[in-house]
Amino acid sequence: MKLTVILGPMKSGKSFDLISFFSPLKYSNTKYALYQPKRNVRDEGIESRSGLFLDAEKVESLAHIGDSDFSVVGIDEIHMFDPKEVAHIEQALANGKEVVVSGLDMDYKGEMFTTVRRLLELGPTEVRYKRAVCNDCKKISATHTQVYDKGVPVTEGMPPVIPDDGTFGYEPVCRSCFVKTAR
């Protein structure tokens, strides 16, 4: 059934979109579930920088979403899930569920996460690209997420998903301000 994908850099309002979609369902008779990757060590539940909050279950795998009795499934920080987990989303769609996911589209090198690419290969009903304010030039055109190690952009030598445990800094930047990996 319907697949909505919300993508963009840090601080672009992806969680806000997810929360606005799911909040009204609390008062409806629609059965829904919200998930977050266990790898997300930063948040307890889905939190928007505007202060809104929704409970989400932390899971390692999306294996059971296809056969659950929820008709709408939301997944936050989709880029932190293993690419093979996308098969479970495909199964959920085949079973008639509506799936709404959000996450970063590109890693610290400016390359698309494999999990996100596989998700787009499912042919989403809607893809929403969010933009943030660039940390450098302050234009509302940030498309990338720059990862900093003590203020210096990290451009190589890291896995695509860098744990957000406080070791590194993360800021949204636009295409021109983004410091690329030399290739």
Interaction site with Zn ion (CB under 5 A): 134, 136-137, 174, 177
Nearer to Zn ion, 22 or 108 (CB): 108
Query: In 36-60, which positions are buried (b, 16+ CB within 10 angstroms) versus exposed (e)?
Result: bbebbeeeeebbbeeeeebebeebe
Instruction: Name which of 54, 95, 52 is nearest 75 in CA terms.
Output: 54
Helix (H, G, I), strand (E, B) or coil at 23: helix
Please give the single-letter amino acid code of residue 38.
Answer: K
Are 106 and 112 in contact by the 8 Å Cβ rule? The answer is: yes
- CB closer to Zn ion out of 153 and 163: 153
Contacts of 4 (CB under 8 A, 6+ apart): 21, 98, 99, 100, 101, 124, 125, 126, 127, 128
Between CA 130 and CA 66 the distance in angstroms is 27
Helix (H) or strand (E) holding 16: helix 14-22
Q: What does the alpha-carbon distance between residue 23 and residue 77 come to, in Å, rounded to a whole number?
A: 18
Q: At closest approach, how far in Å is the CB of 94 from Zn ion?
A: 41
* 60, 77, 156, 171: the active-site residue: 77
Q: Is 98 a catalytic residue?
A: no
Active site residues: 77
